Amino acid sequence: MKADWKTGRTIALTAVWFLWPQISRANPVIIEPQSLIAFGIIAFWALVIESALVTLFLISQGIVFLPFLGTLIAANAVLFLAAFLPLTGRIPLWVLEAGVVLADAVLIKLLVSVPWVQGGAFAGVTWTRGLVASLAGNAASFFVGVLASGSPWEAVEAMQSLE
C-alpha cells in the first residue's frame, strides 16, 4: 500500500508543479462575469465541484459522502463570503489564494472530526492529505470559473489576432 501512496503522491506533485500558475489563482472571483446572476451561478457550481472533488478525494478514508459534502459546501461558502471576497483587491491574489488553500485544509481537518461525517471504517485524515485535497479542490474551482467565463476562448482569439 505504501508504494501506491508514493506513486499517487508523485503524480500529484508532478501535476501541481506543471499546473502551479493556474492552481495559485484557483477561485471563481477572476471570471469577471457580465452580471451578478452569472457570477452567482458560476461561483455556486465552482463551489459544488470543489467540494465534491475534495469529498471524493477523502472518501477512501471512511467519511460518509453526503453529510461531508453538504457540510463542506456550507463551510466553503462561509469562507468564500466572509474571508475571500472582503480581502479581494486588498492583498496580492497569490497570498490570498495560499491563505484560502490553507484555510480549506484547516476546515477539512475540523469537519472530519465531526462524528456524523465519519463512517464505520473512518481512518482519519492527515494534514498532508487535507492540504492536497484542498489544493486539488481549489484548482478545480479555478478551472470551472475559467471554462464558464469563456476565458480560454478569449485567450485563443487574442493570440490569433496577434498573428
Per-residue pLDDT tens for 97-147? 889 999 999 999 999 999 988 988 889 899 999 999 999 998 888 787 777
pLDDT band at 160 (very low <50, low <70, confident <90, very high): low
C-alpha cell at 127: 494534514
Per-residue pLDDT tens for 10-50? 776 676 666 554 444 444 455 444 556 667 777 888 899 99
> Is residue 16 helix, strand or coil?
helix
The whole-number pLDDT of residue 43 equals: 81
113 versus 163: the higher-pLDDT residue is: 113
Residue carrying the nine cell digits 506533485: 13
List the single range of 34-38, 51-55, 92-96, 149-153 with lowest mean pLDDT.
149-153
The whole-number pLDDT of residue 27 equals: 46
The whole-number pLDDT of residue 130 equals: 93
How far is the C-alpha of 80 from the C-alpha of 141, rounded, in Å?
12
The structure's pTM equals 0.68
How far is the C-alpha of 27 from the C-alpha of 142, rounded, in Å?
5
Distances (CA, A) of 8 to 12, 44, 88, 129, 149: 6, 29, 33, 11, 31
For residue 116, how many C-alpha atoms fall within 13 Å in the half-sphere facing its CB? 7
**76 and 104 Cβ atoms separated by less than 8 Å:** yes
**77 and 100 Cβ atoms separated by less than 8 Å:** no
The values of phi and psi at residue 10, to 5°, are -65, -45
Give the other-Cβ count within 10 Å of 159's Cβ.
9
| Helix, strand, coil content of the chain in percent (nearest 5) | 80, 0, 15
Burial class (CB in 10 A: 0-12, 13-18, 19+), 37: exposed
Average pLDDT estimate for 145-150: 70
The whole-number pLDDT of residue 97 equals: 82
Going by the DSSP 8-state scheme, the letter that residue 163 receives in this structure is -
Q: Which helix (H) or strand (E) holds 35?
A: none
pLDDT band at 85 (very low <50, low <70, confident <90, very high): confident
